[in-house]
Structure 1
Amino acid sequence: MRLKTSALIALPSALLLALSLSACGKETATTASTGSSPSSTAGSSASSTDKATRNNSDGASAGSSSGADNARTVSIHDLQTGDCLSKMGPESTDGGQSTAKATVVDCTAPHQFEIVGEAESTATSLSEATAPQAIVDTCQPVLETYVGSTKQAAGYRIGSLNPNQSSWDQGDHTLTCFLQAPDDNPLNKSAKDS
């Protein structure tokens, strides 16, 4: 059974600013409620990714670190299922261009987001694929598998990192799904099989 999201509210403006990468021509990511529990809310935030060049430079996941002291900054293109992120946002490069980066921490350290997997959108356009309900429809099964049940999934908000328009036009319709707490409070353990 798929649960519907009823309303959208904005995430804190600091998160919006941290995740906004409009200078890169990137597209947006949206988080949406996955459940109808009283503490579940929905929201949207700007984020980005051009996953056309997605690759894994080091193969390590956040679970192999021990605490926030072992935090590492990676390109969002290198995120893997199970990575716990304390933040996502732009980072300047030598050329002055902004690139999307994420700080990966051990899942026992406080973190805002957790990558739950990837899903292929069946939408006919990027704007259709990134609508809040479309993200829920695409990422909900991935979230439920990751956490182990529909009931557990209802306790999280879900969002996605999306290809930019150019990548979408070239056939990349893969969304990288992530979860976060419905109240924007940090998580302190992995949601995997919770």
Structure 2
Amino acid sequence: MARRGVVGVLVGALIMLLAASALAATGSNLGFLGLASDERGPTEVLGGSSTGPADDASELPTTPGTCLNWTTADGSDVSGVPCEQSHLFETAGPVQAALPEGAPFPADAAWQQLVADQCAPLAQSYLGKPLDPTGRYKVGALKPTQSAWEDGDRTVRCGLQAPGRSGALFASTGKVADADQAVVFAPGTCLGLSGKEVSDPVSSCARTHAAEVAGTVDLGSKFPNALPSVDDQDNFLQPECTKVAQAAVGEQKLADSKLTVYWTNVNQASWDAGTRRVSCNMGSLLADNSGFAPLTGSVADGVTIGGDAPASADPLPPAGAPAAAEPSTPAAVPSSDPAAPAAPVVPTQQPGLQLPPLLPGLGPQQTPQPGVPIN
């Protein structure tokens, strides 16, 4: 539903149901990490092998609640750390890939199926409360390397992680059970542009980006009980996001920028998981409403709206690589650091128009890609 406010067009994003076909279209996996432990060799990233040392990985525990961190793209320096420290993975427990000794190393689709079938329920049981299907945390796993598999290792570590659209992982502090699952960022954070879609935060708004975060609004302050309808959310968020954006950059600068202020709606599953905070962002649509136009510079300092979207998306990092770019300022998220953008529908000036998903993720309504069954 499109609504006009004091500045530009303010649009409440419709609730989006992510589909498996959208995952294939964007090239994203199902939140599957693909790092592994190997008693005889280094860790492995899904689709390729590392050349790192062969020590720490073999000693990593499978105990639920263990937190792991690494700094290299291939995970060769993976180690256990206290969960109060910055980390990329929180272990929910191990499962066994139910294939006999001598079975060939499973294809990627089979690993994804295992994550959906075995890790998702285990992680949910470990968490002890609902996991927001469009929130910052997703179910992932650490699999054995091919050499370990050939020696009979069938142990898969299931856990929780905060992936970006690119496949990179964002760091967290504290346990997921104690964290705010809302995908929000500090005001002034600029979200990257991949093709025509919102991507991970960029290190500086001087880089090409899709949107700039104005701030957040807490729906719980207005609606303390049941989930409000989309119309009720929009009626509340329209003036609130306007005020947030004006306070962040100034009323005149916001008007001069010609940017659209938009927000994300909360659906029932997210509400049940405790998500109440909503991100208010500023961006500009392409002329054909097919996605976001390139932006350069911050709104406060004078933003430039580009013409055409980039010809191609940025190359994706290896699955499980730490996110290279951090938000320009720390996000005010209790017990956790910034994660990847949520999956809002692109704001539009035409009521009812819903564009392709921006951030595919593993949700309960998705079906993993077909492949060789793993059990």
2:36 maps to 1:48: yes
Contact 1:157/1:179 (8 A) holds in 2: yes
Correspondence for 1:76: 57
Matched, 1:85 2:49: no
- Relative to the length of structure 2, the TM-score reads 0.30
Q: Which residue of 2 aligns with 1:135?
A: 115
Residue in structure 2 matched with residue 28 of structure 1 by the alignment: none
8 Å Cα contact 1:84-1:115 kept in structure 2: yes
Equivalent-residue separation in structure 2 for 1:118 and 1:79 (angstroms) = 12
- Provide the aligned length of Structure 1 versus Structure 2: 134
Distance in 2 separating the partners of 1:136 and 1:51: 26
- The one-letter code matched in structure 1 to 2:86 is P
Mapped pair 1:148 → 2:128: yes
Which structure is higher in helix share?
Answer: 1
Distance in 2 of aligned mates of 1:51 and 1:88: 20
Structure 2: gaps (5+ residues): 1-17, 42-54, 180-375
- 1:36-67 CA distance string (max 9 Å, x none): xxxxxx4x5553322579xxxxxxxxxxxxxx
Q: Which ranges of structure 1 fall in alignment gaps of 5 or more residues?
A: 12-30, 33-41, 54-73, 92-98
Q: Secondary structure at the match of 1:108?
A: coil
What is residue 76 of structure 2 aligned with on the other side? Answer: 100
Contact 1:75 1:101 in 2 (8 A): yes
Identity of aligned residues (%): 26
Q: How does 1:17-36 map to 2 (within 5 A)?
A: 32=30
Q: Deviations over 1:59-94 (max 9, x none)?
A: xxxxxxxxxxxxxxx712222232222326489xxx
How far the C-alpha of 1:10 sits from its partner, in A, is 6.5
Q: Distance in 2 between matches of 1:162 and 1:10?
A: 20
**Counterparts in 2 of 1:10 and 1:180: CA distance versus 1, 3 Å:** farther
CA shift in 2, pair 1:128/1:79, >3 Å = same
Partner of 1:161: 142
Inter-partner Cα distance in structure 1 for 2:56 and 2:40: 13
C-alpha distance in 2 between matches for 1:137 and 1:113: 19
The AA in structure 1 aligned to 2:115 is I
| TM-score for the superposition, normalised by structure 1 | 0.52
Q: SS state of the match for residue 137, structure 1? A: helix
Q: Matches of 2:177 and 2:81 in 1, distance apart?
A: 15
SS class of match (2:119): helix
- Superimposed CA distance per residue, residues 129-154 of structure 1 (whole angstroms, 9 cap, x where no aligned partner): 753222221211221121014x2274
SS state at 1:141 partner:
helix
Within the alignment, does 1:116 sit opposite 2:92 as a pair?
yes
Name whichever structure is richer in strand by fraction.
1
Q: What is the identity, as a one-letter code, of the residue corresponding to 1:141?
A: P
Call closer, same or farther: CA 1:5–1:89 in 2, change over 3 Å.
Answer: farther
CA distance in 1, matches of 2:90, 2:27: 19
Aligned to 2:309: none
Change in 2 beyond 3 A, CA 1:89/1:115: farther
1:187 aligns with 2:172: yes
- Name the CA distance, whole Å, in 1 between partners of 2:141 and 2:19: 15
C-alpha distance in structure 2 between counterparts of 1:88 and 1:138, whole Å: 27
Pairwise CA RMSD? 3.6
Give, in whole Å, the separation in 2 of the partners of 1:153 and 1:125: 35
SS at match of 2:131: helix
Report which of the two structures shows the higher radius of gyration computed on alpha carbons: 2
